[in-house]
A = this chain, B = another copy of it.
Amino acid sequence: MLNNEYYTQDQHGPYEFYALGDFLLESGETLKNAQLAYAMHGELNEAKDNAILFTIMFSGTSKNMEHYIGPGKALDPDKYCIILPNQLGGGLSTSPHNIDGAQAMAGFPIVSIGDDVVAQHQLLTEYFGIQELQLVTGWSMGAQQTYEWAIRYPDMVKRAAPIAGTAKCTSHDSLYVDVFSEALKSDSEWNKGNYADPYACGDGLKRLAHVFALMGFCPEFYKQEQWKRIGFDSMQEMLSEFWEAWFQPMDPNSLLTQAKKWQEGDSSRHTGGDLVKALSGIKAKTYVIAFEDDMFVPVEDCKFEQHLISNSELKVIPSFMGHFAMLGLLNEDFKLIDSLFGALLSCDVS
């Protein structure tokens, strides 16, 4: 086990663990003694009908979405019980660097979006006894999970807000994942995932960070030197102290487990590859939220899927931050997203 201080309660807590046991994956392999790490804000009411599920993006943890939760915000813990489950392989839940044996490191199995959703469903129904979710939302890979939830458990999901992500990963998005995965795996320490140090592949992680910087913020963000608004004096400082600093402490195998999951994300697998059928089965009142000039997930790709969902609306948020508007580093982005959560939660779905 390669202990990595990044993936700790200290850095990302508090979070709890739910024991999934030996967990059968879509691939047919069983993840041994699997643990689902989740954070929870607010309390489940007696009727168990005030729950919100907020799923997590690539390279992120439940901690990174906490700014959307708080008294006075749409995701108000005084009213709702908000559960944020961390991805299998994502670092806090069972992941390549926190298990021993044959499934450690490069031996970690392929995990799918469906595996996450089934594990989360088990937590919510078997552990908490929840049968109804007021809202399922998530950003990027979180949107992939949101779609999977709304498609697989249509009667349980009352409202859905997939944000800047797709039900089916597009070819271009898949190529993006290839490019940043190759940037990481080109590291001289990579050794096909059997590196020797918990902070290995620093050069590869730096290159990956630059690919994210390139595609993550809009060209206009750079042109207008908007990095000043998020606290940096120069582009170089932002690259180093924001992007590189974000990825540098992470575990390469964990990132690549998530990357593969991202790339293979396809909620139409449960309808024989028929995406129209999959999306038209969604019963939730759905806001498909897209970010203008998002280079990861163009608005057009979100719009394409939104049109296939009956009770849905497309909400396009203008932002210089592109895909990373969700981080809410610019207050206007946070406010718009928060207000969409509020508007969706106030929609009558009875």
Number of residues of chain A lying within 8 A (CB) of chain B: 34
Query: Is there an interface contact between A207 and B183, defined as CB atoms closer than 8 Å?
Result: yes
Query: Is there an interface contact between B172 and A210, defined as CB atoms closer than 8 Å?
Result: no
Q: How many angstroms between the C-alpha atoms of A176 and B239 in the bound complex?
A: 13
Instruction: Output the residue of A204, A214, A235 with the most chain B CB within 10 A.
Output: A214
Q: How far is the CB of A38 from chain B (nearest CB, A)?
A: 33
Query: Is there an interface contact between A182 and B170, defined as CB atoms closer than 8 Å?
Result: no
Q: Does A27 contact B (CB under 8 A)?
A: no
Q: Does A220 contact B (CB under 8 A)?
A: yes
Which of B178, B188, B295 contacts A210, CB < 8 Å? B178
Q: Does A175 contact B (CB under 8 A)?
A: yes
Q: How many angstroms between the C-alpha atoms of A178 and B300 in the bound complex?
A: 28
Per-position 1/0 for A299-339, Cβ under 8 A of B = 01100100000000000000000000000000000000000
Q: Does A16 contact B (CB under 8 A)?
A: no
Query: Is there an interface contact between A223 and B295, defined as CB atoms closer than 8 Å?
Result: no
Q: How far is the CB of A155 from chain B (nearest CB, A)?
A: 32
Q: Does A343 contact B (CB under 8 A)?
A: no
A223 and B171 in contact (CB under 8 A), knowing A176-B214, A188-B188, A295-B295? yes
Query: Is there an interface contact between A186 and B214, defined as CB atoms closer than 8 Å?
Result: no
- Which residues in chain A, 277-308, are within 8 Å of chain B measured between CB atoms? 295, 298, 300-301, 304
Secondary structure call for the A interface: helix
Q: How many angstroms between the C-alpha atoms of A118 and B70 in the bound complex?
A: 62
Instruction: Using CB atoms, name the residue of chain B closest to A203.
Output: B186
Contacts of A210 in B (CB 8 A): 175, 178-179, 182
- Which residues in chain A, 163-202, are within 8 Å of chain B measured between CB atoms? 170-173, 175-176, 178-179, 182-183, 186-188
Query: Is there an interface contact between B295 and A175, defined as CB atoms closer than 8 Å?
Result: no
Q: How many angstroms between the C-alpha atoms of A176 and B215 in the bound complex?
A: 9
Q: How far is the CB of A27 from chain B (nearest CB, A)?
A: 22
Q: Does A42 contact B (CB under 8 A)?
A: no
11 pairs, CB–CB < 8 Å, chain A vs chain B: A172-B214, A175-B213, A175-B235, A176-B214, A179-B210, A179-B211, A186-B203, A186-B207, A214-B215, A219-B301, A223-B300
Closest 10 CB pairs of A and B: A186-B186, A171-B222, A172-B219, A172-B222, A182-B207, A219-B298, A179-B214, A175-B214, A179-B210, A171-B235
| Known A172-B222, A172-B223, A183-B183; 11 more pairs at CB < 8 Å | A171-B223, A172-B214, A175-B235, A176-B214, A179-B214, A182-B207, A182-B210, A183-B186, A186-B186, A211-B211, A219-B301
